[in-house]
């Protein structure tokens, strides 16, 4: 537990992110913690544990830090802790403040400048930027569903990096590209005077490399979808809507990309309906 025995500061968090960005290292640690947690649940409140409680609290802290760094979509402050561990942590550790203290970039037009200026290792920048993107998407995508696609892309990028398919420089560059797309999206939406829902369809078309009449097309497609809002509950209606979308996209999207383009549009509309 030497990694956090002297407290948690920016340098400690940087060390944690560099060590646990390795997927195998992280999975090994998660497995170890869960094994120790099982033992603790059986033995607590045995007096034998008294000398080990401080170390166990630190281990639980480290577990939640790593989880929130690398699985922000799944992470919940107390959710996956077992009852006796949860009680111990609630009494002695302010997990909410701990998680809130993790580095988080504000996703705005100045973020790239801040990242470039920051004097931390490249791997730390990758972890902090990835987490910032995912949390931004979680907070805002309910009203701007196109952001889900960018969150999914960030997950794919970090996965390739963890599997050693890409280098640090390339990974950071790809994540910064996503941030740039997020920050430019509002200006683009205002430029074309699109509603948030229209812009979500517009974004889906843009991803599918549609270039002609994309603004008009996004409005027409949203009208078709909104006139058939029960399509997710009715297979026959879904097939009809799919055919309509195919007709709109024929000749505007490469034949090989048509099925994926239609699926993406339907998925985005499904998320709109779930709000």
Residue 47 has pLDDT above 90, yes or no: no
Q: Computed over its alpha carbons, how large is the radius of gyration of the chain?
A: 23
Mean per-residue pLDDT of the chain: 88
Report the Cα 61 to chain-centroid distance in Å: 22
pTM attached to this predicted model? 0.81
Residue 18 has pLDDT above 90, yes or no: no
Claim to verify: residue 66 and residue 143 sit in the same structural domain: no
Question: Which among 199, 212, 194 is positioned nearest to 249, based on CA atoms?
Answer: 212
Q: Is residue 225 part of a domain?
A: yes
In this predicted model, what pLDDT tens digit does every residue of 23-38 receive, in sequence order?
A: 889 999 999 999 999 9
**Final residue before a domain boundary, out of 162, 191, 220:** 191
Determine the Cα–Cα distance for residues 94 and 166; give it in Å rounded to an integer. 36
**Encoding tokens for residue 141?**
């995508």
**Final residue before a domain boundary, out of 127, 160, 191:** 191
Claim to verify: residue 176 and residue 202 sit in the same structural domain: no
Determine the Cα–Cα distance for residues 179 and 195; give it in Å rounded to an integer. 21
Q: Is residue 22 part of a domain?
A: yes
**Final residue before a domain boundary, out of 100, 127, 151:** 100
Residue 133 has pLDDT above 90, yes or no: yes
Domain containing 54 equals: 10-100
Tell me what pLDDT residue 74 has.
65
């Amino acid at each position: 537990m030497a990694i956090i025995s002297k407290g948690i500061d920016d340098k400690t968090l940087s060390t944690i992110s560099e060590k646990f960005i390795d997927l195998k290292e992280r999975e090994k640690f998660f497995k170890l913690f869960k094994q120790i947690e099982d033992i603790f649940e059986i033995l607590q409140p045995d007096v034998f544990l008294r000398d080990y409680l401080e170390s166990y609290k630190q281990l639980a802290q480290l577990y939640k830090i790593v989880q929130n760094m690398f699985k922000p979509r799944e992470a919940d402050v107390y959710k996956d802790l077992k009852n006796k561990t949860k009680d111990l942590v609630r009494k002695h550790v302010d997990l909410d403040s701990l998680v809130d203290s993790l580095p988080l970039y504000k996703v705005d037009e100045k973020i790239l400048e801040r990242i470039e200026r920051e004097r931390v290792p490249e791997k730390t920048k990758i972890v902090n930027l990835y987490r910032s993107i995912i949390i931004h998407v979680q907070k805002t995508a309910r009203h701007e569903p196109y952001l889900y696609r960018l969150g999914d892309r960030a997950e794919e990028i970090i996965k390739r990096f963890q599997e050693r398919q890409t280098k640090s420089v390339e990974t950071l560059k790809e994540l910064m590209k996503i941030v740039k797309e997020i920050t430019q999206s509002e200006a683009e939406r205002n430029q074309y005077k699109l509603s948030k829902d229209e812009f979500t369809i517009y974004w889906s078309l843009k991803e599918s490399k549609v270039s002609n009449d994309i603004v008009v097309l996004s409005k027409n497609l949203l009208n078709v979808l909104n006139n058939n809002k029960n399509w997710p509950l009715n297979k026959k209606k879904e097939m009809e809507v799919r055919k309509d979308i195919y007709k709109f996209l024929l000749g505007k999207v490469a034949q090989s990309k048509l099925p994926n383009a239609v699926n993406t549009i339907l998925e985005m509309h499904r998320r709109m309906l779930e709000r």
